[in-house]
Amino acid sequence: MVLDTTSSTSLDKQRIPRVLVIDDSLDSVKLMSHILDHYKCDVTMAFDGQDAIPLLASKPYDLVVLDWQMPQMGGRDTLLLMDRLLTEKKVNKIKKTIPVVIYTGHSEEELDLPLVRNFSYLGFINKRQAFSSMMRSFNFILRSI
């Protein structure tokens, strides 16, 4: 009998995506956690932009899911602050942009997306869309990172 180890070896080498979720809503955080756990992601949660900054500085992320409407510091300001941190501290040594998914209850047309150096806009997910739609969206997003 021949034992095929190629499939287990390739599974061992498969990289687990590291995702930073920034959202002030506990319900949204639970939903994102559920979806990303389904796709076997290493998920870190921040409840506002101020909490996200030290997390972003502490380890590299493959994806950021960012709520656009937050009371203390909105998504736009959070993104600009994170971009400035990566530029000033040279935390992003790889020089590869970090994909960002904007997660909001607003329409995409209402967003005022700033120009940033260290992040690339990968998608927009409306909080009001159906769960199955969100699952499909994240399936596509995670395959592209």
Confidence class for position 107, pLDDT limits 50, 70, 90 = confident
Question: What pTM did the predictor assign?
Answer: 0.85
| Token reading at 53 | 């900054």
Q: Which of 59, 32, 65, 29 is nearest to 47 (CA)?
A: 29
| Token reading at 88 | 């000033």
pLDDT at 50: 92
pLDDT at 24: 94
